[in-house]
Amino acid sequence: MNYRKLLGENIKKYRKIRRISQEQLAERSKLHRTYIGATERGERNISIDNIEKICKALDVNLKDLINDRR
Amino acid sequence: MNYRKLLGENIKKYRKIRRISQEQLAERSKLHRTYIGATERGERNISIDNIEKICKALDVNLKDLINDRR
């Protein structure tokens, strides 16, 4: 699986663990809700700065978002 | 340290471990040499797809590039 897909799946996983909506994650990370949705579906070639914003908003480390344990 | 800087330092570290130049890494990853240099200095908001190209060119996992052990 490529990193885009892996990242998207893990962002969704941790968002659900944190029990927050895409809107809430968008607000916390100062990104647009549609950007969050597309990123979770692996449709966005997300940048490292935006990955960092999402990590902070979810209170996770980048290592957590690239873990490949399903 | 932010992820840009961490990523840049580790790309440079593994490039040296692999004993290849920025030109060679640029060629292998199909990115421009100046892009590689700027990324190593933490000056580029690199995207996940380009990070993946560099990982493959260096034969490392993304986890290696975000390790914070100096």
Burial B15-43 (b: 16+ CB within 10 A, else e): beeeebebeebbebbebeeebbbebbebe
Q: Which of B48, B51, B53 to mutate to test the interface with A (most CBs of A within 10 A)?
A: B48
Alpha carbon of B46: minimum distance to chain A alpha carbons (Å): 6
Q: Which helix (H) or strand (E) holds A23?
A: helix A22-29
Interface confidence, given as ipTM, is 0.91
| CATH architecture of the region A3-64 | Orthogonal Bundle (1.10)
B1: pLDDT confidence band, cut at 50, 70 and 90? Answer: confident
Q: Which of A11, A48, A62, A65 to mutate to test the interface with B (most CBs of B within 10 A)?
A: A48
So what's the pLDDT on residue A36? Answer: 98
Q: What is the mean pLDDT of residues A29-57?
A: 97
So what's the pLDDT on residue B65? Answer: 93
Q: How many CB pairs under 8 A join A and B?
A: 44
So what's the pLDDT on residue B51? Answer: 97
| CATH architecture of the region B3-61 | Orthogonal Bundle (1.10)
Q: What is the pLDDT of residues B4-50, one digit of tens each?
A: 999 999 999 999 999 999 999 999 999 999 999 999 999 999 999 99
A70: pLDDT confidence band, cut at 50, 70 and 90? Answer: low
Residue B70 in this model has a pLDDT that exceeds 60: no
